């Protein structure tokens, strides 16, 4: 462990979960870390890359519940850096999107701590890759809107793909909100769980049919818009995948 008068903090994007989707810089910084404060949903494969000598602390939040408050996280970042350590704040996806990075940056600036942001691949892009669907197909969508399921108030707009992080397990409430905002019940949509990971699962349907689907486990993301309309080939592939998923669930429940 290398101690200096004052350490440095790195806000690092862990990407969607597949360790091969980490940037080279993220991997280098992670391997040099003395302390890692990580989100709850960071994959075990990525956590395994952290040196055994590093202090690892989960400071993640699930469904608004937090074992460690944001203020406590900010204080730990400052305290560990002031002790001369190299500190990594490891965040799912990209650190600058729905990750409270702004509050942490403010705390570091107030304390006079040097920091650097290392971007990561957002779950939205991993989900689009899994669906083999362009979010901005020029024939259907020219705009993308990012929001969260906790406080999302998206307005319907023709030619827009809505990407909703953390939609939660209650699809009925989310669909009611979207329909109230002007979306049609026949609007194509998809939910992707654990994008890029070995446990990745996805469903394609329409907003009207989504409440009838078994909710997929977190971390998940909801994509809505005409761009999500599957080709016949994609639809057949999805049906095969869902049949396999249903079979596995049946076997596991026996």
Is there a single domain that holds both residue 203 and residue 226?
Answer: yes
Q: What is the domain-level CATH number for residue 70?
A: 3.40.1010.10
Q: In terms of domains, do 137 and 237 share one? A: yes
State how far the Cα of 176 lies from the Cα of 44, in Å rounded to an integer: 35
- The answer to whether 208 and 175 have CB atoms below 8 angstroms apart is yes
Domain, as residue range, for 23: 8-118
- Residue 139: is it exposed, middle or buried by C-beta count within 10 angstroms (0-12/13-18/19+)? exposed
Write down which residue in 78, 99, 118 finishes a domain. 118
In a domain? residue 219: yes
102 plus 127 within the same structural domain:
no
What is the rounded distance in angstroms from the CA atom of residue 210 to the CA atom of residue 222?
10
Could you give the dihedral angle defined by the CA atoms of residues 240, 166, 196 and 210, in that order, rounded to the nearest 10 degrees?
10
Query: Looking at the domain assignment, is residue 205 inside a domain?
Result: yes
What stretches of 8-136 show up as alpha helix (H) in DSSP? 24-31, 44-47, 70-82, 101-111, 123-131
- On whether both 141 and 186 belong to a single domain, the answer is yes
Residues 203, 105, single domain; the answer is no
User: In total, how many domains does the chain have?
Assistant: 2
Residues 87 and 154 in one domain: no
Q: How far is CA 189 from CA 13, 57, 163, 204, 238, in A?
A: 26, 36, 10, 6, 13
Q: Would residue 171 count as lying in a domain?
A: yes
Which residues belong to the active site? 39, 61, 166
Q: Cβ atoms within 10 A of the Cβ of 232, count?
A: 7
Residues 13, 135 within the same domain: no
Residues 158 and 76 in one domain: no
Task: Read off the DSSP letter of residue 18.
Answer: -
Q: Is residue 1 part of a domain?
A: no
Whether residues 129 and 248 fall in one domain? yes
Q: Decide if 57 is inside a domain.
A: yes
Domain boundary among 78, 101, 118: 118
Same domain flag for 15 and 106: yes
Q: Is residue 3 part of a domain?
A: no
Task: Write the CATH number for 229.
Answer: 3.30.950.10
Residues 217 and 247 in one domain: yes
Same domain, 53 and 106: yes
The residue among 87, 118, 149 that closes a domain is 118
Domain for residue 69, yes or no? yes
CB under 8 A, 24+ apart: contacts of 244-250? 245/201, 249/214
Among residues 229, 125, 134, the alpha carbon closest in space to that of 184 is found at 229
- Asked if residue 247 belongs to a domain, the reply is yes
Instruction: Kindly report, residue by residue over 239-248, the tens digit of the pLDDT.
Output: 444 444 444 4
pLDDT along the chain (254 residues), means of 10: 75 97 98 97 95 95 72 97 97 93 96 97 96 89 84 61 92 91 91 95 95 94 88 46 46 46
């Amino acid at each position: 462990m290398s101690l200096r008068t004052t350490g440095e903090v790195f806000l690092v994007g862990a990407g969607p979960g597949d360790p091969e989707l980490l940037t080279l810089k993220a991997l280098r910084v992670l391997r040099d870390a003395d302390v890692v404060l990580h989100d709850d949903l960071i994959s075990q494969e990525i956590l395994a890359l952290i040196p055994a000598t590093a202090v690892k602390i989960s400071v993640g939040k699930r469904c608004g519940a937090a074992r460690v408050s944001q203020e406590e996280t900010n204080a730990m970042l400052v305290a560990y850096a002031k002790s001369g350590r190299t500190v990594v704040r490891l965040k799912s996806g990209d650190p600058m999107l729905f990750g409270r990075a702004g509050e942490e940056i403010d705390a570091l600036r107030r304390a006079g701590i040097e920091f650097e942001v290392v971007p990561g691949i957002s779950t939205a892009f991993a989900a689009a890759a899994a669906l083999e669907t362009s979010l901005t197909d020029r024939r259907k969508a020219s705009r993308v809107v990012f929001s969260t399921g906790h406080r999302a108030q998206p307005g319907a707009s023709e030619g827009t793909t809505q990407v909703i992080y953390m939609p939660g397990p209650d699809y009925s409430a989310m669909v009611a909100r979207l329909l109230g905002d002007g979306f049609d019940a026949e609007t194509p949509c998809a939910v992707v769980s654990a994008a890029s990971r070995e446990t990745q699962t996805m469903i394609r349907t329409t907003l009207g049919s989504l409440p009838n689907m078994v909710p997929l486990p977190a971390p998940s993301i909801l994509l809505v818009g005409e761009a999500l309309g599957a080709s016949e080939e994609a639809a057949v592939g999805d049906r095969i995948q869902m049949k396999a998923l249903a079979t596995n669930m049946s076997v596991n429940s026996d």
